Chain A
């Protein structure tokens, strides 16, 4: 069992409250996943800069070591580095060489990604999710079944720029998919099956598929149980396996599209009493894109 939540805003007036809304949704899903929690938020970007979310101990001296032009925003065990676009390769190499203890868990123009072991409420408080603004975000509360309770095993997983995925379920062909994807340049940081699903979508997107096409292809290639919520820089998508093994409920209003593993996760959202509440159909791709 796991809990997943997602929120995609249509009304810019709600953007300052994205984190607060998502934090409320995440906390309700504690009893579906008390082991660990994580979330990705698509906040503001800066022209010419890439955001790297890194995780590790002793991050204090990183920014100065990387030289001028790098901004660092610390969040507990994580840090968001705002770096010049043209230095991304060089900085990644520096980090790998000099600080192999640090994990780069998210990268892109707008994505920030946080995850830790612990109760969802504690995790969102540690990173001050409620204080974050953005256009869309997804979150996950984990009850581990396929691999250990570690920060590495927590969701979301990000395997491409501004991409992330959360998963409720388990995949049975992740080992063969991993062997297929690795030679194509998709790199994995963990042994987790959900990371393979993220990598699969990254590969499809890299090959030129739209988000909807990538998910359609996933219906043929991913074997197992899944409800996915996927974020890209401008998109938000939901997909359930053909027998809808894992729960899902959605709500849509003029202001937002929201996803929860259970309706309880949505009850705190503004105007929920008048939202169109529906269960996404199995094997049907749902995508919302920002203009």
Chain B
């Protein structure tokens, strides 16, 4: 197993080593030590490998990820897994703002809390937060699922498109055009699969959640509003 000590090796060198891995590499399990909050660790990966980072990371960790599994054994700074395309990112601590921002695919699991703007402009990613999320989360969220085992802050789902939001705890407030929606069988089933993927299906049941989504009033032209344009 390759071990990269960021006390010895630069971040640029680490990312370079990870970028040069081929699809059939034998070096499938990496360990990164001494991250010390550095930014942009393990970004732009595109190989089926696992990268464990032993500590807190800075901004944009695992950004643009494809295929890889990145595990952060600590807290993550702003924009963890931003623009992820596929693969999995697992933060064992808390995540700062804009976790999973604009991401198209893959699974982001946060064991702790995520702060403001979690899932902003998400475009297909699945995000499971075991704690609570901050204000303005899922702002302009387009597709994908955001699952929150704890509470959600103010203005959840403001100007949301077609992403699905599942919150088990209290929602402090819904943003413009975001409403509570019925939990139908298909949602229970999809949520159950996400809880399974996040490893919490034993203790957390889909029926404990409420679903929120778009009222679809904001992004369609409505003739009554014509005077406002």
Contacts and interface: CB of A to CB of B under 8 A. Distances in A.
Interface of A: 242-244, 247, 249, 262-264, 266-267, 277-279, 281-282
Contacts of A278: 94
Interface in B71-100: 75, 77-78, 93-94, 96-97
Q: Which of A262, A278, A279, A282 has the most CB of B within 10 A?
A: A279
Given A279-B94, A279-B96, A282-B116, A263 B77 contact: yes
A243 B153 CA distance: 11
B91 to A, nearest CB: 13
A283 to B, nearest CB: 9
A244 B134 contact: yes
Interface of A, secondary structure class, is loop
Nearest to A263: B37
B115 interface: yes
A245 to B, nearest CB: 9
A272 to B, nearest CB: 9
A281 B94 contact: no
B38 interface: yes
A157 B92 CA distance: 39
A278 B94 CA distance: 8
B136 A264 contact: no
Contact of A244 (B56, B58, B97): B97
Given A244-B134, A279-B115, A262 B77 contact: yes
B130 to A, nearest CB: 16
B36 interface: yes
B216 to A, nearest CB: 26
B124 interface: no
Given A262-B37, A263-B56, A263-B58, A247 B136 contact: no
Nearest to A279: B115
Contacts, number: 47
Q: Which 6 A-B pairs have the closest CB atoms?
A: A263-B37, A264-B37, A267-B36, A279-B115, A244-B116, A263-B56
Contact of A277 (B56, B58, B136): B56
A281 B36 contact: no
A262 B97 CA distance: 12
B119 interface: no
B135 interface: yes
A274 to B, nearest CB: 12
A18 B221 CA distance: 60
Interface of B, secondary structure class, is loop
Interface of B: 36-39, 56, 58-59, 75, 77-78, 93-94, 96-97, 115-116, 134-136
A249 B96 CA distance: 9
Given A263-B56, A264-B38, A266-B37, A282 B134 contact: yes
A27 to B, nearest CB: 14
Nearest to B76: A263
Nearest to A267: B36
B75 A263 contact: yes
Nearest to B55: A273
Contacts of B59: 262
B151 to A, nearest CB: 12
Contact of A243 (B39, B75, B78, B135): B135
Contacts of B39: 264
Contacts of B38: 264
Contacts of A262: 37, 58-59, 77
6 contacts: A243-B135, A244-B116, A264-B37, A279-B115, A281-B115, A282-B134
B37 A247 contact: no
Nearest to B154: A242
A243 B134 contact: no
A212 to B, nearest CB: 21
Nearest to A31: B39
Contacts of A243: 116, 135-136
Given A279-B94, A279-B96, A281-B134, A247 B78 contact: yes
Contacts of A266: 37
A187 to B, nearest CB: 36
A259 B94 CA distance: 17
Contacts of A279: 94, 96-97, 115
A155 to B, nearest CB: 22
B135 A247 contact: no
B97 A277 contact: no
Contacts of B116: 243-244, 282
